[in-house]
Chains A and B, each alone.
Chain A
Amino acid sequence: MYAQPVNKVPTRNPLLKLKMACKANVYALCVVARFSAAIVGGYIFTAVFTSLLSLILPLKKSDAVLLSISLTILVYSCVFIWAFAVKSLKTIWITILLTSSACGLSIALLKGWL
């Protein structure tokens, strides 16, 4: 439950610092990093994914929107939990950013923004 002593190795790179801190089990930092990945990453993915869903569901427009809106919370909580189940933070961010941009791109194509 408690943080263990940290081996202090000086480094400038903040990313590396974060990684090392996690390795050294600085608890608070780990918690913050996980939560931000889950909250922010989950939010981004859910927003883009459900927006795409509202366009591609084979239903009347209002029905498609209402259905995808009703499913947002389900999607968000699944991503949230997944972000805690995966070991490396990097994997989480890469997966989220890739899938979100893929969804975003499809929306842009469907709406003819490009």
Chain B
Amino acid sequence: MKESFFRSMTWMHTWVGLLVCWLLYLIFFAGTISFFRDEVTLWNQPALHSIQAPQERIAQQREQIIAGVDYLKATAPESGRWGIYLPTEREPQLNYAYEKPRPEGKRFGGWQDHYINPTTGDSLQQPRETKGGNFFYRLHFDLHYIDVRTARWIVCFASLFMLVALISGVVIHKRIFKDMFSFRKNKGSRSWLDGHNVSSVLALPFHIMITYTGLITLIFMLFPYPAMTAYDDGVRGLFNDVTPTNVRTKSSDVAAPLTPIDSVLDQIYTNWPNADLTRFSIKDPNKTSATITVRASTGTLVRDQTPTMLFNGVDGSLIAKSVDEYSSTEVFYDSLTALHTGRLANPLLRWLYFLCGIAGCIMIATGCIMWAKRIRERMKKDQKASFGLKLVEGLNLATLMGLPLATCAFFIANRLLPLSLTQRADKEILAFFIAWLAVALFSLFKRAKMQWYLLAWVNAVACISVPLINALTTKGNIVSYLLNSQWALFSFDLVCLVCALLFALQAKKLRTQLHTPTPTTRSNHVTKNSLVEQKA
């Protein structure tokens, strides 16, 4: 019985993993980049590079809000929504945004941003149209080009498979502790297995945590049933119960003057002394239905729900305020989401998140390569590869080598596309997918070691060209970032260079293999090389 249990778990591990590994790779890859979402967005906006981090960020917030409301009153009195986005530790700019007029039938018209340098108070030149890190953030769970809801269901099931594969992986792994320290180099699929084990086991708590909590973030779509059973109006009923600020107001067209902002601010600071505010938004300004929502940062608390206050925009009275003390269940549920998004992370922890994410990418990559290798090794000399094997090999090459190239194409497009292009942000994304498609077509044609070698070089060149093109098209470069201690930008360029180096190493390694005379290639790309594939 025990032996058959092990066998069924091994069987399941293989199948569950193989079915979704490429999609999971995409999810992990995009998710890993999303940990540095704000930093990537910053890199994509050279107009914001010149901003120095303000010295007394929190102390300036009051004046910034007052100035913002004055600006918006003068600029967009008719707009349906105003938003004042205050600088945070990761986003240096101040943004006074308002909603553009709504097109027919749409519920939201999109934001018109107005960026301001918080240290000097000058408005910055019109930022370029780009999605930046948000593209990867959305790609991580909404995919792209397909319906958002369908995409989320697909992502949910892929994550569920991941969780099941993780659990069964632990079950079938009899020597989990010993294998943590063993890496047998140059041993064919054995090396790949070791690589798979090391990357999985070292970051196992992270993998399980991130998959479980990832599913929790989409849980109301996947399992709305408990809420539907307990509340008459389902999930909305639950939300209204746990978030008192979740109040819906009907918009009216009757004009009414906005309450003095000073009195609202006084109330905020009496309730939350020393608050680090992040956003001050006004819905239906200058109307009788005006409401003001204020959000504060959660800082490094393991908490996802932002502290929120809701005010009446006409008489300035406090309508609702988020709960300060959570019950233990709320803490449990909320901390799961907080752990996944990692907004709580200070720079060091953020890098740890990033490294663990890369370990996850390696785990998936080595897993799917190993499957193909094993089948190849078991094949007789004159046996032809089955369609399934060819498919897996093709998808491996297309995904593992295609995604880094696509990512580089996205960043290069950000710098090279003309600023006046219409729908520029979409064109950047198009560049991402065209690059990926090109690799996919290439691997349709052939997917032998030679193709891996060629793509490794292409990737190395692409990675190195990202900081190079950045240096040529903007005022800064990796050296000036280091000298001015602009760490976010410096790290971005550095990671690109490291990736380029790793790809070059991979190419070199593959080259020696290509030239080894023995036809029985018991191959061995070093796992380090798969490290390459992720970072980009």
Contacts and interface: CB of A to CB of B under 8 A. Distances in A.
B329 A59 contact: yes
Interface residues of A, number: 38
Interface string A65-81: 11111101110110011
B333 interface: yes
Interface in A31-66: 31, 34-35, 39, 46-48, 50-55, 59-66
A109 interface: no
A46 B329 contact: no
A54 B226 CA distance: 6
A111 interface: yes
Contact of A70 (B168, B225, B333): B333
Interface stretch (B139-147, B214-222, B428-436): B214-222
B12 A65 contact: no
Interface in B20-39: none
Nearest to A72: B223
Interface in B220-248: 220, 222-223, 225-231, 238, 241-242
Given A72-B219, A81-B168, A48 B329 contact: no
Contacts of B11: 84
A61 B230 contact: yes
Contact of B333 (A53, A69, A76): A69
A51 B231 CA distance: 11
Contacts, number: 101
Given A63-B329, A84-B11, A69 B5 contact: no
Contacts of B167: 77, 81
B242 A66 contact: yes
Contacts of B333: 66-67, 69-70
Contact of B160 (A53, A80, A111): A80
A96 interface: no
B230 A64 contact: yes
A86 to B, nearest CB: 9
Contacts of B157: 39
Contacts of A84: 8-9, 11-12, 168
B242 A62 contact: yes
A114 interface: no
B164 interface: yes
A65 B226 contact: yes
Contacts of A74: 212
Contacts of B355: none
A51 B235 CA distance: 13
Q: Which among A39, A59, A68, A84 has the greatest number of chain B C-beta atoms within 10 A? A: A84
Q: Which among B167, B327, B329 has the greatest number of chain A C-beta atoms within 10 A? A: B329
A9 interface: no
B153 to A, nearest CB: 11
A111 to B, nearest CB: 7
A55 B336 contact: no
A92 interface: no
A87 B5 CA distance: 9
Interface in B413-470: none
A54 B235 CA distance: 13
B219 A69 contact: yes
A101 to B, nearest CB: 15
Contacts of B5: 85
Contact of B9 (A46, A53, A85): A85
A80 B229 contact: no
Nearest to B14: A1
A50 B8 contact: no
A47 B141 CA distance: 22
A71 B230 CA distance: 16
A67 B329 contact: yes
Contacts of B15: 31, 35
Given A1-B375, A76-B160, A51 B229 contact: yes
A73 B215 contact: yes
Contacts of B231: 61, 65
Interface in A72-114: 72-74, 76-77, 80-81, 84-85, 87, 107, 111
A48 B241 contact: no
Nearest to A1: B375
B12 A63 contact: no
Contacts of B160: 73, 76-77, 80
A1 to B, nearest CB: 7
Interface in B291-332: 327, 329-330, 332
B222 A72 contact: yes
A66 B223 contact: no
Q: Which among B157, B160, B167, B336 has the greatest number of chain A C-beta atoms within 10 A? A: B160
Contacts of A77: 160, 163-164, 167
Contacts of A55: 229-230
Given A1-B378, A60-B327, A69 B227 contact: yes
Nearest to B162: A77
Interface string A1-32: 10000000000000000000000000000010
Interface of B: 4-5, 8-9, 11-12, 15, 157, 160, 163-164, 167-168, 212, 215-216, 219-220, 222-223, 225-231, 238, 241-242, 327, 329-330, 332-333, 336, 375, 378
6 contacts: A68-B226, A69-B223, A72-B222, A80-B160, A85-B5, A111-B229
Given A35-B15, A66-B330, 14 more contacts: A47-B225, A52-B229, A54-B226, A54-B229, A62-B238, A62-B330, A65-B230, A66-B329, A72-B219, A72-B222, A73-B215, A77-B160, A77-B164, A87-B4
Interface of A: 1, 31, 34-35, 39, 46-48, 50-55, 59-70, 72-74, 76-77, 80-81, 84-85, 87, 107, 111
